[in-house]
């Protein structure tokens, strides 16, 4: 299986790294945020919640984003290294991350150094810098920002944070820890599951549509005679103006 894994606040505890580095450069003892306190993905708001005044938080954020040292020393999320190594050894794993958050080269240079130092087994050709992760093609993407996965041609696995819980979704998996990711891939996802949209006739002969997830699509279609069309999932989010005729890669019937 092809799996894309996000870095910030997914593989890494970026919020924790921000507070630790802010302590170093300000000389202040700050409140270390807990995962359940992450009501936003804003670094400035993390620093304010940790105890800095707004002006100092803004200034510190600029210093963080322009520091190679900061980016190359962000700690892992709990259990992330061992589970990442398991996935890497058993699947085709890529790191997909945004790295152009500042006007300097610090972010993408620091992230390369982080990978070299902390994942010496990782092939750097599988390190992808992009703001458009939804254009990636694969089986799964593990990500904390759901909007990055809207058009992803595969199945998103959302790393749970308070700031992403309001995002409506249909067929995403949601995990609270790297242990849950390990369980997901060793038990539920031993074989690739495919999300797809089906048009079928109900008992009264009316055409209805629905979503389903199956491991053997061909077998499903042979057994489900009432299916008129089936389309592979590329977009499984609810929208008020959602048009079910859009956003699918191809049909089987």
Please write the tens of the pLDDT for every residue from 162-171. Answer: 999 888 665 5
What is the per-residue pLDDT for 12? 97
DSSP per residue, 71-126: HTTPPBPTTHHHHHHHHHHHSEEEEEE---SSSSSHHHHHHHHHHHHH-TTS-GGG
What is the per-residue pLDDT for 149? 85
Q: Are residue 141 and residue 96 in the same domain, yes or no?
A: yes
| More confidently predicted of 92 and 212 | 92
Residue 211, pLDDT > 60, answer: no
Domain count for the chain: 3
Distances (CA, A) of 43 to 15, 103, 207, 216: 7, 16, 48, 43
pLDDT digits (tens, 9 = 90+) for 192-201: 555 555 666 6
- The region, left, alpha or beta by phi > 0 then psi within -120 to 50, assigned to residue 161 is beta
Q: Are residue 140 and residue 88 in the same domain, yes or no?
A: yes
* Residue finishing a domain among 188, 221, 241: 188
Mean pLDDT along residues 77-93: 95
What is the per-residue pLDDT for 103? 63
Give the CATH number for residue 111: 3.40.50.1000
To which residue do tokens 């042979």 refer?
A: 222
Q: Are residue 53 and residue 156 in the same domain, yes or no?
A: no
Residue 156 CA to its chain's centroid (Å): 7
Q: Which of 119-123, 182-186, 222-226 has the highest mean pLDDT?
A: 119-123
| More confidently predicted of 227 and 149 | 149
What is the per-residue pLDDT for 252? 33
CB atoms within 10 A of CB 61: 22
Identify the domain containing residue 85 by its residue range.
2-9+76-188
Q: Are residue 176 and residue 212 in the same domain, yes or no?
A: no
What is the per-residue pLDDT for 234? 38
Please list, residue by residue across 79-95, b when 16 or more beta carbons sit within 10 angstroms of its beta carbon and e when fewer do: ebeebbebbbeebebbb
Are the CB atoms for 99 and 108 separated by under 8 Å? yes
Q: Are residue 198 and residue 171 in the same domain, yes or no?
A: no
Query: What's the mean per-residue pLDDT of the chain?
Result: 81
pLDDT digits (tens, 9 = 90+) for 2-56: 999 999 999 999 999 999 999 999 999 999 999 999 999 999 999 999 999 999 9
* Residue finishing a domain among 171, 188, 205: 188
Q: Are residue 87 and residue 152 in the same domain, yes or no?
A: yes
Q: Supply the pTM of this predicted model.
A: 0.75
What is the per-residue pLDDT for 43? 93
Q: Are residue 53 and residue 100 in the same domain, yes or no?
A: no
């Amino acid at each position: 299986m092809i799996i894309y894994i996000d870095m910030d606040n997914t593989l890494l505890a970026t919020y924790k790294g921000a507070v630790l580095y802010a302590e170093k450069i300000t000389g202040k003892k700050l409140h270390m945020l807990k995962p359940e306190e992450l009501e936003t993905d804003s670094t400035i708001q993390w620093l304010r919640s940790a105890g800095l005044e707004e002006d100092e938080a803004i200034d510190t954020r600029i210093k963080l984003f322009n520091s190679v040292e900061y980016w190359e020393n962000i700690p892992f999320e709990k259990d992330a290294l061992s589970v990442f190594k398991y996935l890497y050894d058993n699947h085709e794993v890529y790191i997909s991350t945004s790295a152009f958050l500042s006007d300097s080269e610090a972010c993408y240079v620091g992230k390369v150094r982080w990978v070299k130092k902390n994942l010496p087994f990782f092939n750097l050709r599988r390190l992808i810098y992009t703001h458009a992760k939804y254009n990636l093609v694969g089986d799964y993407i593990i990500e904390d920002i759901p909007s990055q996965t809207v058009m992803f041609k595969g199945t998103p696995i959302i790393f749970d944070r308070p700031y992403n819980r309001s995002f409506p979704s249909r067929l995403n998996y949601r995990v609270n820890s790297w242990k849950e990711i390990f369980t997901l891939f060793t038990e539920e996802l031993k074989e690739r599951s495919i999300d797809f949209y089906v048009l079928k006739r109900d008992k009264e002969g009316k055409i209805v549509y629905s979503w389903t997830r199956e491991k053997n699509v061909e077998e499903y279609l042979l057994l489900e005679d009432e299916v008129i069309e089936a389309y592979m999932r590329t977009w499984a989010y609810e929208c008020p103006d959602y048009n079910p005729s859009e956003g699918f890669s191809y049909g089987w019937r």
